[in-house]
Structure 1
């Protein structure tokens, strides 16, 4: 057996040691940009939804705050068999679930909760899954539904996962938000009461904050968990999400002290934010990608020549200058340069509208052909102004003969409809979740990700074979060889046009201490305090 020693090292260093509660009598208001669709993180991929659930739950493994290293959480340690197919997780003792008006746990967290959490995603015939049918896009998109052969308990605090094939990123994958551990006891109570869907609207977890109430388009309120298993990490009594879709409103609230942390400032506002003595702006290189996705199931985008024409007609430099301003870097590949296995030999096709028109003529596309371009309604680090970008693309593609209609929806509806493939072309993007190349190349462009995060609906058997083979290898160099081959193939087939990687700028009050910018774009409030 290969023992994971990280947990022991962290415990000995005091990083995970329990301490006496140190809840300061204060509140923190986070100006968020949108209303979550719900709090059952397994259902969602958007950061708005993940942020809303981040405070409530724990996972077996988690990422260190502000970093990419995996650390113990509800599992204190884990063993991996020599063949890489069996993972044995040793669970933390004495962890308490939250209570609410209708539920008070009768026991501590144990292996049954892990089994419920994963079997709900694995087994479509599970009674709870039948009572509350839903989809699990990350779980399916990463092929975990196919690769996890079984999840069994060998004791009240020991769980064994058996895989069908080696997954080099398995421990990282289950550190992601979708793998939040739910209460089997709470689920059983909801099932008996005929209220299974309440697991999404009245969440119960083991996390640092307890859900109190949610008013759509207004606010979410949480309170500190007085029984949290790492009490030294909880330093505020009240956590409030103030929901504001308008970036200018969020900015004004931050300046007035009505919120202490905000999200996604407009590039034009950064200079003023940095000069304000009451504020601080944390700047980090972006682990993200903003891109155009062509739905190859819609004509004429099923033709490679058409996608090539669209790609070479995009004036990327003009878009980056206008949309990203000083915070954007040209993207030519399907993931950011900071991701290991990135192929830096890949180059863009030259900007060439005349050649693009020739390709369209060869493909039989008539001038004046109408197409839809879907523009995100929200700001993201990877796309701070989708409306402006869409207008610029509309003009670019008009030059080669397309009549482009810009479409948008509320964010949750936008994601739902694009995942269903209703768009011709969509503006979308991604911030990496776990530091592994598969989180880009598999999660966004693999065949199994159609219906979840593969917005181009592109499925290439040769590409899929490469990325799936790479996941079964533990040697990073061998994996990189396969991933680079996959990147070359994807670039040649043009299911997407990469636009930009952006620098992340995180504005917050100078009174906030301990906040760290996540490379994965998550907003986490453990170890965060607000000084008087």
Structure 2
């Protein structure tokens, strides 16, 4: 009798467990949340894309916010995105965009032409009630300043109807469409921004149309995003959650990848590349070198107001030695501010040779036969263009000492470093740039034109002000034919080489790595991080 009851009880339990399993939802019980942990070298500065220029901030905001147009997966060719199509007038002064319908911001409000108008007015007009939360530096870099400035490109942005927006320009701009694809010009929810621009830059809740929503930011630790289940691109994203984790040391980050604590990382030490290649549990990505690492001289401070001093330190820089010592061959010497993989590059320019005697001669001619003492700013966090800034500075300082230039190396955390150099507090500083849009304007105008010496977020941290260069770069911006623009940019590179506001150091191939289970990631020459199609198998 007891045996029969026991059998019946087991049968009932089996039936009950089957019913409960069937009621637990549509997903099989084996399904698990897909979380990607992305290890990086530094924390973000802010999370309002219009307020930042650093990759650590923009890599996060790219997942939350979207632009009217975007780049192809592997190139800087511009493709439709939130705008389905566009047309331009023959004179290049009017651009009309047809917007995708049915798209909503994460807060449920509609993406439409009025939202586009709001964002551009907020960025360009310093009297706008929400022109707050930062300095909107990229807008000034790419569009010639702000409303009322002499060189401001955009005359007006208007809503033709709910899904059509019109841009009228004060003058043609060759890279206009490419500029619109840049992450800082992503469209945010007006309703979310109006709640408080300063708060929005820290917690962009509900603010974007992108594949992931903001959840939490633990400063100097992690930023957590979750899947936007109402995302307008069907089947995307494939991940349920993304966590950006800050691990400043490259070696420690690589150890975290090997141990499985993170799933993906940038800032891989070049010397570790071979370890990745020999490990079938890991995967290597090589990001094309559309970047430049450089030493900028603050030309508004002595002795760097003298071009002969700047030329002398160019001659005292051993670029081949730097590449051999710190890049494991994954870089090429930089002759010009832009890499030779870009159109408009001037291959006829010869670099300053590494020649300490020539350097001493130029210092003597400049009135510094015994050299001088100077602070040398170096970043501590690894960057795609510079894996170890402090060690590179120490290496360069040894050669500088041989010509009498005694340096004191100064370091700060990344956010402070950007703030201080953007305000011009340095005498000379290591810095770098990842190209944003494949156009020479994005290197030469942004980094070296007098327009971009505006503080506190100067793009031109050499504070180099050349009317001759400015005239050439503005002509190049306003030309519509690439052949004409190419000739102007080649002339611009000649002027820059002569005046030597920088020591261009290297163009680096930036390695990234992930677990072998990670699929769908494509490294982009702009260094953009697109996680929409990334999956974990």
- TM-score scaled to structure 1, two decimals? 0.91
Q: How far 1:368 moved relative to its partner?
A: 5.4
Q: Secondary structure at the match of 1:127?
A: coil
Decide which moves more: 364-373 or 330-339: 364-373
Q: Is 2:155 the counterpart of 1:149? A: yes
Query: 2:129 is matched with which residue?
Result: 127
The number of residues matched between the two structures is: 497
Alignment-derived partner of residue 62 in structure 1: 70
Cα drift, residue 24 of structure 1: 8.0
Q: CA RMSD in A?
A: 1.5
From 442, 449, 461, the counterpart of 1:455? 461
Q: 1:20 aligns to what?
A: none
For 1:29, which of 28, 34, 37 is the aligned residue?
Answer: 37
Give the 5 Å matches for 1:104-503: 105=108, 107-129=109-131, 132-144=132-144, 145=146, 146-188=152-194, 190=195, 195-203=196-204, 204-365=207-368, 367=370, 369-451=372-454, 452-503=458-509
CA-CA distance at 1:221 after TM superposition: 0.7
Paired residues of 2:360 and 2:369 also in contact (CA < 8 A): no
Cα distance in 1, alignment partners of residues 130 and 500 from structure 2: 41
Secondary structure at the aligned position of 2:524 is classed as coil
Query: For residue 4 of structure 1, what is the aligned residue in structure 2?
Result: none
Runs of 5+ in structure 2 lacking a partner? Answer: 1-30, 147-151
Q: Is residue 24–residue 236 contact of structure 1 (8 Å, CA) maintained in 2?
A: no
Unpaired stretches in structure 1, ≥5 consecutive residues: 1-22, 100-104
- Matched residue, 2:104: 96
CA contact (8 A) 1:142 1:448 kept: no
Structure 1 segments (4+ residues) deviating >6 Å = none
Q: Equivalents in 2 of 1:384, 1:196: separation in Å?
A: 34
Indicate the residue corresponding to 1:86 in structure 2: 94
CA distance in 2, matches of 1:196, 1:286: 35
**What's the offset of the Cα at 1:523?**
1.6
Q: Is the 8 A contact 2:287 2:527 kept in 1?
A: no
Question: What corresponds to 1:10 in structure 2?
Answer: none
Question: 3-state DSSP class of the match of 2:255?
Answer: helix
C-alpha separation in 1, matches of 2:357 and 2:318: 13
Tell me, what secondary structure is at the counterpart of 1:206? coil
Are 1:49 and 2:53 counterparts?
no
Residue 506 of structure 2: SS of its match in structure 1?
Answer: strand
Note the C-alpha offset of 1:164: 0.7
Partners of 1:284 and 1:38 in 2: CA distance? 25
Q: Secondary structure at the match of 1:166?
A: coil
Secondary structure of the corresponding residue to residue 517 of structure 1: coil
CA distance in 2, matches of 1:120, 1:366: 52
- Asked if 1:517 is matched to 2:523, the reply is yes
Specify the structure having the higher radius of gyration (Cα): 2
Q: Distance in 1 between matches of 2:426 and 2:287?
A: 33
State the partner residue of 2:24. none
The alpha carbon displacement at 1:381 in A equals: 2.3
Listed one character per residue, the Cα deviations across residues 29-67 of structure 1 (whole Å, up to 9, x for unaligned) are 111221111101111111001112110001111112232
Secondary structure of the structure 2 residue equivalent to 1:77 = strand
Q: Deviations over 1:205-246 (max 9, x none)?
A: 110000000101111111100111103231011111111111
